[in-house]
Structure 1
Amino acid sequence: MLPLDVRPLFPRERHALLELLGSLDSAQWATPTVCPGWAVRDVTAHILNDYMRRLSGNRDGHPGTGFAAGESLPTYLTRINDEFVQAMRQCSPQTMTDLLTLLGPQLDAVWATTNPTGPAYLDVSWAGDTTTPAWLDIAREYTEFWVHQQQIRDALAHPGADSPALMQPVLVTFLHALPVALRNQVRPPGTAMTFEITGPAGGQWSIISDGTGWDLTTAPAGNTVASVRMDQDTLWRLASRGITTEQARQRAHLHGDHALNHAATNLLAIVA
């Protein structure tokens, strides 16, 4: 794993979001987004839900509502997210914006007092079955906020918040899904593939086999048998399933071991 410390970025990402939300009229708040059945106001409510659940859980130790009988994690998350969004339709956009403004710094304080190398409050299931370090849990939460802001911006044709400083940590966090995407591809120790992301926020990474699993690194790889190159916009949309794997492959350049390339372009960095 490649440790990240995204904690200083939360206020910057939130400032861009609040600046955008403060410029919207009532029609823009009602604009449909890529999230099925959710308008801009609903995605905003979902972000607020994330703030409140994290404060309640991480800071206050509140367990929240449990799973219904026989409910899977994806079904559970879909249900509770939709319940909150439905309830927040009673609240005005200004009220939601005020709550984000109030609660954001409180959440920043939670991250600031979290030991990044300690155990996560919530494991990141899409990054593997081992215990998640707190820094990856926090980075995952940053990607959640950033992606939802981009979904709002896409709906409004209002690009932004995509400077390399804000965007590259999202891309690197999503690349931590690669070892899981490749886990069924057993190769001899030292076998490697490269993953290049083009664009100002991009870079090049290696994924190296130890014979039983894979590790993400920035170190140059020797026995490279496959490579994937895609642009930064394609990568974040693929990882969050804003586009399909087939659409991503059509936009990407793949070379070498077909099975490895096919598996790598299945990377998924959300619970689905």
Structure 2
Amino acid sequence: MIPLDTRPLFRRERQALLVLLRSLDPADWAKPTVCPGWSVADVTAHILNDYLRRISGSRDGHGGAVFANDETLPDYLARVNGEFVGAMRQCSPRVLLDLLDHLGPELDRVWAATVDLAGPARLDVSWAGPGTSPAWLDIAREYTEFWVHQQQIRDAVSRRGADDVALTRPVLVTFLHAVPWALRDRVRPGGTAVRFEIIGPAGGCWSVVSDGTSWDLTAAQAEEPAAVVRMDQDAVWRLATRGITVEEARQRSTLRGDPELTESATTLLAVVA
């Protein structure tokens, strides 16, 4: 794994979001987003839900909503997120902005209180594999959540921004932690590497290396990778969040080497689905 400390980025990402939201006119708030059935206002309410959920859980130890009988995690998330967004439709855009502005600094304090980033996460990151996740990955996962939802709002209202290198590269690196899990069924000799080349200002090269039984992400460059995936940075984050399909991502990529490895690597998924 490649440890990241994304805590300093939350404030900057939120400032960009608030500037964007304050510039919208009433028609913009009603525009549809890539999230099925959700408008710009709905996605904003969902971001607020994430703020409240993490403050309540991490700061106050609150357990939150409970699972219904035989409810899977994707079903649970779809239900509770939908319930919150539906209830928040009674609130005006100004109220949503006031709440984000008020709760954001409190959320920053929650992240700052996480002293041991290598310690166990409060919420494991299931798309990175089974077992206990490190705290830094849990926090980085939350950062990607906010950044992606901001991009979805920007797409809906045709506004670019919040995509500079400092804000974007941590998103890409965090999402690459899903590649080892995507390769889990491809058993290869120790030292076998898949190189991921991300094209764009926030891009770079990373390797996912086998130890003979599992795979791990590293910043080291494999001299003779068994497979290479070359993809632009926009395609990477959209693929990871299923803003585009796997096939669309492959069409936007250059794939070389072991076809089984490139096939699996390009199924990376960094959301619960």
The 8 Å contact of residues 205 and 221 in structure 2, kept in 1 or not, is answered as no
- In structure 2, what is the Cα distance between the partners aligned to 1:113 and 1:120? 13
Deviations 1:62-114 (A, max 9, x none): 10111000000000000000000000001010001000000000000010010
Q: 1:29 maps to what in 2?
A: 29
Q: Which residue of 2 aligns with 1:132?
A: 133
Distance 1:147 1:221 in 2: 30
Q: How many residues align?
A: 272
Q: Distance in 2 between matches of 1:83 and 1:73?
A: 15
2:231 corresponds to 1:230: yes
| SS at structure 2 position matched to 1:4 | coil
State the AA in 2 paired with 1:118.
Answer: G
Question: What is the alpha-carbon root mean square deviation over aligned residues?
Answer: 0.6
Identity among equivalent positions (%) equals: 69
Which secondary structure state, in structure 2, belongs to the residue aligned with residue 230 of structure 1?
Answer: strand
| Structure 2 segments unaligned to the other structure (5+ residues) | none
1:179 is paired with a residue whose SS is: helix
Aligned partners of 1:252 and 1:221: how far apart in 2? Answer: 19
The aligned runs of 1:139-218 (5 Å cut-off) are 139-218=140-219
Q: Does 1:13 align with 2:26?
A: no
CA contact (8 A) 1:238 1:244 kept: yes
- 2:60 is the alignment partner of 1:60: yes
Inter-partner Cα distance in structure 1 for 2:152 and 2:33:
7
- For structure 1, the 5+ residue unaligned runs are none
Partner in structure 2 of residue 245 of structure 1: 246
CA distance in 1, matches of 2:189, 2:113: 41
For residue 77 of structure 2, what is the aligned residue in structure 1?
77
Q: What's the counterpart of residue 86 of structure 2? A: 86
* 3-state SS, counterpart of residue 42 of structure 1: helix
Q: Deviations over 1:5-38 (max 9, x none)?
A: 0000000000000000001111100001011000
What amino acid does structure 1 have at the position aligned with 2:130?
D
Aligned to 1:104: 104
Q: For the residues of structure 1 that align with 2:123 and 2:173, how far apart are their CA atoms?
A: 19
Q: Deviations over 1:193-231 (max 9, x none)?
A: 100000000000011100000010011214411000000
Query: Partners in 2 of 1:22 and 1:91 — Cα distance?
Result: 15
Q: What secondary structure does 2:213 align onto?
A: coil
Q: SS in structure 2 opposite 1:7?
A: coil
Q: What amino acid does structure 2 have at the position aligned with 1:88? A: M
CA separation in 2, counterparts of 1:57 and 1:113? 13
CA distance in 2, matches of 1:222, 1:10: 36
Amino acid in structure 1 at the alignment position of 2:10: F
- What is the letter of the counterpart of residue 17 of structure 2? L
Contact 1:4 1:139 in 2 (8 A): yes
Runs of 4 or more off by more than 2 Å in structure 1?
none
DSSP-derived class of the 1:101 partner: helix
Q: Distance in 2 between matches of 1:217 and 1:270?
A: 21
